[in-house]
């Protein structure tokens, strides 16, 4: 059994957001500093991507390491819980499967996809250069 009472845990979990998270806001600030304009959470695209750059036909997904199970061996935040595994394992596996399906759907529609992980955002310069490389690889859309 965990150290936190169920009511306390429930209150903590209810505060977790799916939009406008701190990692997402950091990426948005980086993009704005570069002078880039984007759309947020477009409902007409599979999975409502976090950031959509229509000019480049590109989307950026900002994934939390735990919720989306970052596959990196060095990411400690993606560790599986040791309690209630009957609940957490299928839930997290479902998130990963949905992510893969959404990325495949986006790519099938001709969108380029960049996935940024929460733990990668600690190194702003690396993320900045990763975004630069990604956008250079995306041809501009002709109006």
The pTM of this model reads 0.85
Q: Please, what is the average pLDDT of the chain?
A: 89
Number of domains in the chain: 1
Around Cβ 111, how many Cβ atoms within 10 Å?
A: 20
Let me know: does 24 contact 49? Beta carbons within 8 Å. Answer: no
Give a yes or no: residue 42 inside a domain: yes
**In this model, does residue 11 exceed pLDDT 70?**
no
Chain segment 15-50, per-residue pLDDT in tens: 566 677 889 999 999 999 999 999 999 999 999 999
Report CA 25 to chain centroid distance, whole Å: 11
**pLDDT confidence band for 8 (50 / 70 / 90):** confident
The pLDDT value given to residue 73: 87
The pLDDT value given to residue 10: 65
CATH of the domain at 67: 3.40.960.10
Q: Of the ranges 13-17, 62-66, 129-133, which one carries the lowest mean pLDDT score?
A: 13-17
How far is residue 27's CA from residue 106's CA, in Å, rounded to a whole number?
20
Give a yes or no: residue 35 inside a domain: yes
Let me know: does 68 contact 96? Beta carbons within 8 Å. Answer: yes
The pLDDT value given to residue 116: 97
Give a yes or no: residue 128 inside a domain: yes
Domain membership of residue 36 as a residue range:
18-136
Query: 119-135: b or e for each residue (b if 16 or more CB lie within 10 Å)?
Result: bbbeeeeebeeebeebb
The pLDDT value given to residue 142: 60
The first and second tokens of residue 138, run together, are: 């995306």
Give a yes or no: residue 9 inside a domain: no
The pLDDT of 114-130, averaged and rounded, is: 95
């Amino acid at each position: 059994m965990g150290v936190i009472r169920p009511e306390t845990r429930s209150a903590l979990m209810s505060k977790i957001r799916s939009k406008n998270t701190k990692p997402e806001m950091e990426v948005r600030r980086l993009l704005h500093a570069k002078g880039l304009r984007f759309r947020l959470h477009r409902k007409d695209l599979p999975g409502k991507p976090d950031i959509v750059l229509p000019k480049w036909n590109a989307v950026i997904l900002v994934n939390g390491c735990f919720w989306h199970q970052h596959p990196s061996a060095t990411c400690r935040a993606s560790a599986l819980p040791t309690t209630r595994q009957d609940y957490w394992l299928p839930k997290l596996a479902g998130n990963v499967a949905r992510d893969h399906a959404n990325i495949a759907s986006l790519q099938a529609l001709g969108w380029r996809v960049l996935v940024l992980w929460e733990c990668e955002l600690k190194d702003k310069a690396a993320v900045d250069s990763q975004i630069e490389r990604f956008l250079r690889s995306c041809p501009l859309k002709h109006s």
